[in-house]
Amino acid sequence: MAIGRIITGQSLSEQEESFNVSLRPKSLDECVGQANVREKLAIAIAAAKQRAEPLEHILFYGPPGLGKTTLANVVANEMGARIRCSSGPALVKAGDVMGLLSNIGTGDVLFIDEIHRLSTPVEEFIYPAMEEFKVDFTVDSGLHAKTINFPLKRFTLVGATTRAGLLSAPLRSRFGMLYHLDFYSAEELTTILARSAELLTLQCDPGTLELIAQCSRGTPRVANRLLKRVRDYAQVKGTGLLSTAIVESALKMEQIDPLGLDELDRAVLRALVNVYDGGPAGIEAIAATLGEERDTLEDVVEPYLLQIGFLRRTKRGREITKQACDHLGLKTHKNKSARDQPELFEQGKQ
Ligand code: ADP
């Protein structure tokens, strides 16, 4: 059975979506972190505005919850343009894209989330739209089939993906700007939380937002979600004030540890030790052991564990590191010769 988690970067409930939308920065100045990406975007936007031209196509890539959708909206706002949003899996046929493109105005932004999941026919249909701002649309079929050449307004395609590696080379090469989003520092997350707390009119004791930031896996979406959980907890169990004790208890209840790992992260690491002798193990095998989707492990769990040095990716699969064993209280195997090989069994189970 899949393990429920607060830190998933995917499938927001409607309530959470509206919570997030209200906290979403609207301008580049309101955005925190990603200084390099923001600077390059600011220059590209200023230059395009001076020339009174639409922006080039942009691809944002990186783990979920780091701000790809936010930046797409910010780009549209800064350009004073409208944005139309869709996602790779929703665009099944050329006709689905045609519906979007035929209504798009000059300079408007077309945002396609999960762009790596576009089908090949849709992808090929999009190439001339991106390059020459026209599409060849086939109506009818068989003997009556006709191809209509349909001119489009000059628009900006903003694509987002968690897997830039899965994008075909021809599609990737049609983006003028490709920006990788990195995990945020605890300081940046604290700033994001302070803004969110203010918008939600929360009262916080000093140090409490830092505590939440440290447990947020470098991800603004996780930070905002944790803040919401803590807010609920403070309201029901306390006076509404976010004190250190309340925040610690709320995080404990959510089974989030001081490094921001949750039950699923720990389950992956434990499975590696207990079932695969510390690894290497293939991601498919680990997913099957846990009854989880491979995509969830690859998109949400793995990037952070790699970032904090708890996992190693080798040609033969994923391996747990000594740091992870130490953090989880797994003993290293004294007799293993390989460098910093992890212990094969959990402490006490030997
Ligand atoms: P992605 O599209 O990469 O999955 P989102 O753009 O949906 O991520 O971001 C998730 C949430 O995190 C947003 O709703 C917003 O509240 C917050 N957020 C993301 N990036 C930033 C940022 N740079 N500054 C402040 N808040 C941010």
Domains of the chain: 20-180 (3.40.50.300), 186-253 (1.10.8.60), 263-328 (1.10.10.10)
C-alpha 268 – ligand 1 centre gap (Å): 26
Q: Is the CB of 192 under 6 A from ligand 1?
A: yes
SS3 (DSSP) at 246: helix
pLDDT tens string, the chain, 350 residues long: the values are: 455 555 554 444 444 555 554 789 999 999 999 999 999 999 999 999 999 999 999 999 999 999 999 999 999 999 999 999 999 999 998 889 988 998 899 999 999 999 999 999 999 999 999 999 998 877 777 777 788 888 999 999 999 999 998 999 999 999 999 999 999 999 999 999 999 999 999 999 999 999 999 999 999 999 999 999 999 999 999 999 999 999 999 999 999 999 999 999 999 999 999 999 998 999 999 999 999 999 999 999 999 999 999 999 999 999 999 999 999 988 655 444 444 444 444 444 43
Structure tokens at 349: 């189970």
CA distances from 50 to 46, 79, 323 (A): 6, 11, 51
Q: Mind telling me the catalytic residues? A: 68-69, 113, 162, 221
* Three-point CA angle 267, 312, 350, nearest 5°: 50
Q: Is the CB of 279 under 6 A from ligand 1?
A: no
C-alpha 183 – ligand 1 centre gap (Å): 11
Q: Where are the alpha helices (DSSP H) in 151-282?
A: 169-173, 186-199, 208-214, 220-237, 244-253, 263-274
CA–CA distance, 10 with 68 (Å, rounded to integer)? 13
Report the nearest-CA residue for atom 9 of ligand 1.
67
Q: Could you tell which of 7, 70, 217 is best to mutate to test the pocket of ligand 1, judged by most ligand atoms within 8 Å of the CB?
A: 70
Q: Is the CB of 63 under 6 A from ligand 1?
A: no
Query: What are the φ and ψ backbone dihedral angles of 274, each rounded to 5 degrees?
Result: -80, -35
This prediction has a pTM of 0.88
CA–CA distance, 161 with 113 (Å, rounded to integer)? 6
Q: Is the CB of 321 under 6 A from ligand 1?
A: no
Structure tokens at 30: 């309101």
CA–CA distance, 165 with 244 (Å, rounded to integer)? 42
Give 267-320 as a DSSP string. Answer: HHHHHHHHTTTT--B-HHHHHHHHT--HHHIIIIIHHHHHHTTSEEEETTEEEE
CA–CA distance, 191 with 198 (Å, rounded to integer)? 11
CA dihedral 62, 175, 160, 224 (to 10 degrees): 60
Q: Is the CB of 160 under 6 A from ligand 1?
A: yes
